[in-house]
Amino acid sequence: MTTQQDLFDSVKEQTLLSEIAALSGWDALTGMPKDAGHFRADVDAYLAQKIFTVSTGEHRQNILKALSSGTNQLDELGRLVLEKAQKDYDMTGKIPEADFIAFEKTLSQAQDYWAQAREANDYKIFQPYLEKIIGYLKQFIPLWQTNEVTPYDVLLNQYEPGLTVAKLDAVFAQVKTGVTELRQRLAKEGTTPEDSFLKRRVTKEQQRQYAMAAAQRLGYNLNKGRLDDTIHPFMEALNRDDARITTRWDDYNFQMAVLGIFHEAGHGLFEQNVDPKYDDFRSVLPISMSIHESQSLFNEVMIGRSKAFWETEYPQMQQAFEGVLDDVDFETFYAGWLKTQASFTRTEADPLTYPLHIIIRYEIEKAIFNDNIDVADLPVLWNAKYKEYLDLDTPDDLTGILQDIHWAGGSFGYFPSYALGHLYAAQFQATMAKSLDFEAIFASGDYSPIFEWRKEHIWQYGGAVDPQVILKEATGESLNPQYWLDLQTKQYLAAYGIDD
């Protein structure tokens, strides 16, 4: 007789294998020797085959079939794991095993060639692997598609259940209009803040000392994490006691690493504080990327761009930077910290222009999967959209289409999660402000009330609860972009000396 424990044991094996694969992925992007990529691709393909067998093989199929016909023998957790394991099977099990393994091997190779293309500043090095990835996804989409209207809807639904092109078009139209109008007003009526001090030389160690101390004050636990260097910053969580973060450094742009560490630590905070009862099942309980991004962006934007936060933190930054900013008064620092300007690089964009970077990628991905644009033409489309939305002439592939690692990892449909994360974070903050006095909390230097609210209302659920449910139960309403627009308007009008 098949029991709930059989299901739990099977999913735990999948989770353990997924942890090994995650460790391999983290190592490939942090410490793996440059020439080892082809061997690592074989390792990743082997692990993919093992995961595929465990998650879709006859043993798993028999468990799902037996328990689905008699769910009365399952408790609440068992019913949740069964539901999620069935969803996981429906996604992976529809792909032929050989294609799944080949796809995973291609992803491993693609990340290596993406890095080579960046080094050579030549998209054509990466293009053949991007074509393979897109080809596989176009092959898989009909296998996954149920009631989705467009091919791209299928990919969106994997990262954000229920998300569609129609919904995103409406949300992005509202955001784009609001951002454009505000940027025009700042340019016409405002005084551009002085920010040259942001380009002063601050050593990597000085930046690390401040940023990691601040991340720990926000709750990131270094006993359950670590910081490493990489090309493109990311967080990798093997489990709730091992959530690793990475960053990149620039001695003449300390804001990039400070906010980048805040961002990745926000991801890590989430992973470190999921309820332990989900430990063995995380392979079938992926956390919604919009909710995940809302927590990294809560750290980076809601806190990391807050005036009240920096009134407490700025003296500590000055101390860690050993005199580099001692002649910069707080008002000058904060206005410069908030300065908005068009930029080529998404990860370095200010909160006001950041959504435009996401909308550009969203429109390109729609063109790939709904309009079948030629992969060879993507740099031209990329450059045209940066001119249209940000009035920037992209100088080369490195600055443009090669800047993000996501497509090398097959993560199409992921980018909108960043914009949704901004909107969710602002809505969470607006709700928190009804019961928490942010200014008093930041002034105290004890940020634990913010930590505890997020743990109670968001983090503990991990991937067990859908994002719309978390947002609705935490804030009392569905997604409302106006919270984000109102916050940006208030902050930027003040920073630019405009009375509202």
pLDDT at 186: 95
| pTM recorded for the entire structure | 0.90
Residues in a beta bridge with 237? 243
Each residue's pLDDT tens digit, 355-386? 999 999 999 999 999 999 999 999 999 999 99
Expressed in angstroms, the distance from the first to the final Cα of the chain is 69
Query: Annotation-wise, does 263 bind a ligand?
Result: yes
229 by DSSP, 3-state: which? strand
d(CA 387, CA 396): 13
d(CA 425, CA 229): 27
Q: Report the helix count and the strand count for the chain, using DSSP H and E.
A: 20, 3
Give the start-end residues of each E strand in 259-412: none
Helix (H) / strand (E) containing 495: helix 482-495
pLDDT at 91: 87
**Where do runs of H (alpha helix) occur along 253-306?**
254-272, 289-297
pLDDT at 489: 95
- Between strands 227-229 and 235-239, the pairing is unpaired
- Taking a C-beta distance cutoff of 8 angstroms, is the pair 246, 29 a contact? yes
- Taking a C-beta distance cutoff of 8 angstroms, is the pair 244, 234 a contact? no
pLDDT at 426: 97
The letter for the amino acid at 118 is: R
Q: Which residues of the chain have pLDDT under 50?
A: none
∠ at Cα 36 (31, 41), nearest 5°?
A: 105
Query: Annotation-wise, does 19 bind a ligand?
Result: no
Q: Which of 371, 350, 372, 346 is nearest to 360 (CA)?
A: 346
d(CA 374, CA 165): 21
Domains of the chain: 4-144 (no CATH), 165-495 (1.10.1370.30)
Query: What does the radius of gyration of the chain's CA atoms come to, in whole angstroms?
Result: 23
d(CA 155, CA 50): 24
Structure tokens at 72: 């009365």
d(CA 152, CA 149): 9
Structure tokens at 255: 């804001």
pLDDT at 499: 83
Report the greatest alpha carbon distance in the chain.
74
Q: Which residues are catalytic?
A: 264
- Taking a C-beta distance cutoff of 8 angstroms, is the pair 110, 87 a contact? no
Question: How would DSSP label each residue in 293-348?
Answer: HHHHHIIIIIITT-HHHHHHHHHHHHHHTTTTTTTS-HHHHHHHHH-----S-GGG
d(CA 264, CA 322): 25
d(CA 494, CA 216): 29
